[in-house]
Amino acid sequence: MSSSNVRVRFAPSPTGPLHMGGVRTALYNYLFAKHHNGTFILRIEDTDQERFVPGAQDYIMESLQWCGIMPTEGPGIGGEYGPYIQSERMDLYKPYALQLIENDKAYYAFDTPEELDAVREQAKNMGMPNWQYNSVTRTNLKNSLTLPADEVKRRLEAGDKFVIRMKMPRNEDVRFEDIIRGWVVVNTNNLDDKVLFKSDGLPTYHLANIVDDHLMKISHVIRGEEWLPSAPLHILLYQAFGWDAPQFAHLPLLLRPDGNGKLSKRDGDRLGFPVFPISGNLKDPKTGNMESFTGYRESGYLHNAFINMLAFLGWNPGTTQEIFSLDQLVEAFSLERVSKAGAKFDPDKTKWFQQQYLKATSDADLAQMLKSQFNLAESDEKIAQFCHLMKERATFVKDMMTEGSYLIFKPESYDEQTVSKKWKPESGALMTEWKSKLEALASFDAGSVEGAFKAFLEEKSLGIGAVLPLFRLLVTGAGTGPSMFEIAAYLGKDECLNRMNDGLAKLG
């Protein structure tokens, strides 16, 4: 494979928010292109104007930008094969449809929707519920294959409405090798004469998709499994035009956590996890109502954790390594290691990826993230120290504040379970004695506090459990948390002693 010839495209329709399955398709295209030093293209396929959603294209672009997988060519980016929005390419498609008719690969069909509905109903009454417009039934319908040539000419000149349909050959095997699924063979007797050009003068997805892929020199079509049934038609279209077909790779479905069915927004709403990369508000074209949806970004996920998780939904590197930077994913990725089977989404594993990336993020970067979410008066250095203490126990940035607010604010209450279990009548005197040891320290770094603590235990012949929980309770109000010696050093001597005095006054 010549790297310079690798050109792939992500071609979403702007009909709503970009599902995480769509993001995975974009990601695999991106990784494949970058692995081969090729080109990753974004093309907006907006030929279905009835389902078009204003703002959806901007949402797609923002989602890819947040994920860090921006295309090389596309809307607003440029490239020599544009425009990259199908509605801006409408003048291109009809000549190709007419070329197919001229080469006896397609035909005009003048049947009205009402007439076709009547034929379907008649077939249903005769016990044939799955009627198709195909190589058999077309012989009894109104099209340029059955009507006299002068009748066809008259209808066209009169402006009669028509569609252009693919002339599917009879009883031929269509064969192609899918990179993921191996050889696929479909007999044309199982295929209908798909509409390629609609009565409104617009191409269908099938024609526009093939023409655009050819003109944009697409070498590999990497798309979802739902397009596999359309692949034989697309192969036949390439053959009808006399063009070389790209290589195909059909990705497995993303499945619900229980494995039963395709992952949907409803599943996310029901089980409490997002299925979209970023949050937004878009109008439902059916109801006209604005619909809100939650994304991973607004739920607190780091984009690299989201991408790492998504890469593993259908692909594995063949090793035990699970944490990959985007550059490492580019290096390791191959379509041959993508599974045929559907990939079950695991919300808990997604949180695990998030935890790993949060812990690996620098304290300084976490401090900036925390500041953007909370109005904190502390210095950047102090907030970074706070993050260092809390990030090992956190999943999301906000968790550090939720779990460690006692490092910012004095405790107003004290963990009831710890008080009930650990605070004894003699605890006040013991903690007063320990406080006096802390008061005598010249240095209050974590090592000095820990050294004094160990000496105090030895002096009193006590175990850690007899003193440390009480110390933590007085200073933080909590029963668990990071190292108390690091907490003490973070708070400083005066704050630590003041908190102990307040706690002793309240607990006695």
- CA-to-CA dists, residue 227 to 231, 248, 263, 333, 490, angstroms: 7, 10, 17, 22, 57
> Which residues, other chains included, contact 305 with Cβ-Cβ below 8 Å and sequence gap of 6+?
350, 353, 354, 356, 357, 358
CB of 15 closer than 8 Å to CB of 285: yes
Question: Catalytic: 265?
Answer: yes
CB of 279 closer than 8 Å to CB of 294: yes
DSSP string across 315-371: B--SSS-----HHHHHHH--GGGB-SS-EE--HHHHHHHHHHHHHHS-HHHHHHHHH
Among 464, 463, 472, residue whose Cα is nearest residue 496: 472
Q: How many CB atoms lie within 10 A of CB 166?
A: 23
Whole-angstrom Cα distance, residue 35 to residue 479? 49
What backbone phi and psi angles, to 5 degrees, belong to 413? -140, 170
3-state secondary structure of 174: strand
On the 0-12 / 13-18 / 19+ scale of CB atoms within 10 A, 254 is buried
Among 206, 188, 186, residue whose Cα is nearest residue 196: 206
Q: What's the length of the chain? A: 508
Whole-angstrom Cα distance, residue 411 to residue 491? 13
Whole-angstrom Cα distance, residue 431 to residue 446? 19
Whole-angstrom Cα distance, residue 182 to residue 276? 31
Whole-angstrom Cα distance, residue 484 to residue 347? 32
DSSP structural state of residue 88: G
| Paired tokens of 290 | 């604005």
CA dihedral 438, 441, 445, 450 (to 10 degrees): -60
Whole-angstrom Cα distance, residue 459 to residue 430? 12
Whole-angstrom Cα distance, residue 403 to residue 298? 19
DSSP structural state of residue 76: T
**Given the structure tokens 């070389």, which residue do they identify?**
244
Whole-angstrom Cα distance, residue 477 to residue 262? 46
**Given the structure tokens 């998504």, which residue do they identify?**
310
Q: Among residues 94, 265, 344, 382, which one is catalytic? A: 265
Could you tell me which residues are beta bridge partners of residue 165? 107, 195
- CA-to-CA dists, residue 258 to 96, 339, 354, angstroms: 45, 18, 21
Active site residues per annotation: 265
